[in-house]
Amino acid sequence: MKELELKLSLPDRIASQAKAAGLLTSEAIERLVRQAIRKAAAERLVEYGKRLREPGGTGITAAELESELKAVRAELREAAARGP
């Protein structure tokens, strides 16, 4: 596990709400980062799907799609291995 030190600048109200909700702990931030990674991977797949359906669009090659699928699967496996 890699240790990182984060410094956040948040509006007072958001900082207070995040602290009250327990979102500023290492565990909570890790969970939020994992969710963001999964969301970004899903968004990339949706974007590729849109490109595939565009008539006359640039589309993607089978190799690009396979590469992207492998990358997303690897990200999801890593996230799952580390827990929720």
> Percent of the chain at pLDDT above 70?
94
- Give residue 58's identity as a one-letter amino acid code: T
Mean pLDDT of 49-74: 77
Sign of CA dihedral 1, 77, 41, 19: negative
Mean pLDDT of the chain: 84
Mean pLDDT of 42-65: 76
Q: How long is the chain?
A: 84
Q: Burial code of 14-42, b = ≥16 C-beta within 10 A, e = fewer? A: eeeebeeeeeeeeeeeeeeebeeeeeebe
> Percent of the chain at pLDDT above 90?
27
